[in-house]
Amino acid sequence: QVQVVESGGGLVQEGGSLRLSCTASGLRFGDYAMGWFRQAPGKEREALSCINSNGLSTYYADSVKGRFTISRDNAKNTLYLQMHSLRPEDTAMYYCAADRMSITHMCLGAALRYWGQGTQVTVSS
């Protein structure tokens, strides 16, 4: 059984930083592209960043480019999202997802197979 679990969310002041983690079990982590997504109340889910299976290719949405960094440690079955210069508009539930596809497809709207339950990020002004 595949399990995807996010952690690291919390309350942070504007301009602060957080690092999210996502661990996946029950699958061959190194075979899967991974992505970070978020959804704020009343808004559609937004793809933030995706990374290919070996970590050498990444994609970032314009809204987070230059502020967020995605990375992965395949030996630890863990995906990360380092977030800097956080803004109130970054407040949302953050999710990670896994699937075997290109990062372009993953971050541009494809239906994804495995999702975590999310971790809340709240940025206060």
Q: How far apart are CA 81 and CA 44, in angstroms?
A: 20
CA–CA separation, 109 and 125 (whole Å): 31
pLDDT at 110: 86
Alpha helices in 11-95 (DSSP H): none
Confidence tier at 84 by pLDDT (50, 70, 90) = very high
Mean pLDDT of the chain: 97
Burial grade of 29 (CB within 10 A; 0-12, 13-18, 19 or more)? buried
Q: What percent of the chain has pLDDT over 70?
A: 100
User: Looking at residue 97, what is its pLDDT?
Assistant: 98
Site of tokens 């079990």: 25
| Residue 24 amino acid letter | A
The per-residue pLDDT for range 31-67, each reduced to its tens digit, is 999 999 999 999 999 999 999 999 999 999 999 999 9
